[in-house]
Amino acid sequence: MHQARLTVDSKSVIGPINRRLFGSFVEHLGRSVYDGIYEPGHNLADDEGFRTDVLDLVRELGVTTIRYPGGNFVSGFRWEDSVGPRDQRPRRLDLAWHSTESNEVGLSEFSSWLEKAGSELMLAINLGTRGMQEALDLLEYANLGSGTALSEKRIADGHPEPYNVRMWCLGNEMDGPWQLGHRSAEDYGKLAAQTARAMRSFDPSLELVLCGSSSASMPTFGEWERSVLTHAYDEVDYISCHAYYEESGDPGNFLASGVNMDRFIESVAATADHVKAVRGSDKTINISFDEWNIWYNERFEKVDKIQGVDNWPVAPRLLEDCYTVTDAVVFGSLLISLLNHADRVTSASMAQLVNVIAPIMTEPGGAAWRQTTFFPFAATAARATGTALRVQIDCESYSTSSYGEVPLIDAVATFDESSGHGAVYLVNRSQNEEIEVSIDIGGLPVGNMTARTLSSEDPNAANTIDDQNRVNLTENPTLRHAGTSVSIVLPPVSWTELALNSLVPEKVNELRRTE
Ligand code: AHR
């Protein structure tokens, strides 16, 4: 068995963990909205047609912010279609996903759903087929109290209070040739800066997200960020990153996907800081990692893509990836990567939420269940509060085709001063070896601890409609701890949460006094 030594030091602070790190994404795509969160004919639907079993799972998942309504969809979306009397809303072609959009669910319905889910709305605007005026119209409709045509229209549409949306994405993946209205960095940078300036003349406190690259492998990556930030630096707060990973015949490489995410974040932060230096600015641009997940995109491109001039289905089954244990372990390491950059990544959206590359699956008229990726997300969102702490890792490494030598263990720790709770999140990337990990948590004032692991004899095990509870987190019985020393055995291809529970409050205070 391999051995590894980890040290958690309460003084190795990465940064405060913004709760928006545990956001998600709902796009009008496939069965994400229709037959996903919304299915009026289902026996568990509420009076607005929302599935209460799905709402329960969304609350259990603990998503804080939800990006909406796209994605590629938003670049052809006319927001006016989706508000007002439902029986007058037009059906429209969705060119991004070759589908028909009924507009049955729009801003009003979705914000009502969000209230039930307990999440914050993050709105994306269409800078593909539309521009500044339509963005300003939507902003006025959504955020102005009363007294103008658009704010009064919202009131007449049945929503007296403004939606007061704080975070706005200035378009979606505008660097991608597949995007409706795809632009050069120069053109997009100017449009985004003008739109942001105009939106801020309505409300200077809006938080605006500029489109970064749609992946680190885009040919324009790096230069795109430099250029768009040069145009829009003073007008925005965030630049976005998007990244999807899939296993394509090289599991060792796939298990090291977190390295790619680490480098991606660090390159974008360095580019933003370069622009900051050139401009002599004292403002720091943070990262909104507003699309990240495992996505078997190759399968979609080759098999599932809809075609045909007369073929525009409503809510087709698209991007319904079924996630394995290996997928969930890689997914868990992506969460570790986000936490390891909590100082710069202050918002993130797991893409997506229901049915479409999602942790929650549903069957029309049937069940809703948790995919394997549900578990690392729900556990981390629930416990990773307070501050992210760097973990010193001393372990063996393995060779990968894309990232060179990669450590077998990936980890991050968190500690919340106010509750006294902490956690260490761990991944074993080895495909066949258990690793015995000794952890020195000397710096943290914690009491008892528990550990839960996601792994399986079969790394391809998954939760399916026929076997909905095959994969779950289970207590790791190898956990031992004495004083500040912990030891635990991590199975091959596994994700683990070591939960560090609070000392009794008096003890925490006593320890602080002696520091
Ligand atoms: O999440 C699926 C798609 O991935 C989104 O619509 C797009 O922004 C990205 O390419």
Determine the Cα–Cα distance for residues 464 and 461; give it in Å rounded to an integer: 9
pLDDT digits (tens, 9 = 90+) for 11-28: 999 999 999 999 999 999
pLDDT digits (tens, 9 = 90+) for 312-363: 999 999 999 999 999 999 999 999 999 999 999 999 999 999 999 999 999 9
Ligand 1, pocket-test mutation among 24, 31, 72, most atoms within 8 A of CB: 72
Question: Rounded to 5, what percent of the chain is helix, strand, coil?
Answer: 30, 30, 40
Residues 6+ apart with CB under 8 A from 478: 487, 488, 489
pLDDT digits (tens, 9 = 90+) for 60-93: 999 999 999 999 999 999 999 999 999 999 999 9
Query: Residue 32: pLDDT above 70?
Result: yes
Q: Ligand 1 within 6 A of 27 CB?
A: yes
DSSP assignment, residue 322? P
CATH architecture group of domain 18-383: Alpha-Beta Barrel (3.20)
Number of C-beta neighbours around residue 20 at 10 A = 20
Q: Which atom of ligand 1 is nearest to the CA of 97?
A: 6
Residue 469's pLDDT is 97
pLDDT-based confidence at residue 502 (cuts at 50, 70, 90):
confident
Location of each CATH 3.20.20.80 domain in the chain:
18-383
**How far is it between the farthest Cα atoms of the chain?**
74
pLDDT digits (tens, 9 = 90+) for 441-481: 987 888 889 999 999 999 999 999 999 999 999 999 999 99
The beta strands (E) that lie in 29-162 are given as: 65-68, 92-94, 99-101, 120-124
Query: How many angstroms does the Cα of residue 342 sit away from the middle of ligand 1?
Result: 23
Q: Whose CA is nearest to atom 8 of ligand 1?
A: 71
pLDDT-based confidence at residue 186 (cuts at 50, 70, 90):
very high
Angle at 104 between CA 98 and CA 105, to 5 degrees: 95
The answer to whether the CB of 278 falls within 8 A of the CB of 337 is: no
Q: Does domain 2-11+387-514 have CATH number 2.60.40.1180?
A: yes
Location of each CATH 2.60.40.1180 domain in the chain:
2-11+387-514
Residue 305's pLDDT is 92
Residue 446's pLDDT is 82
Q: Which residues are catalytic?
A: 173, 291
Query: Residue 5: pLDDT above 90?
Result: yes
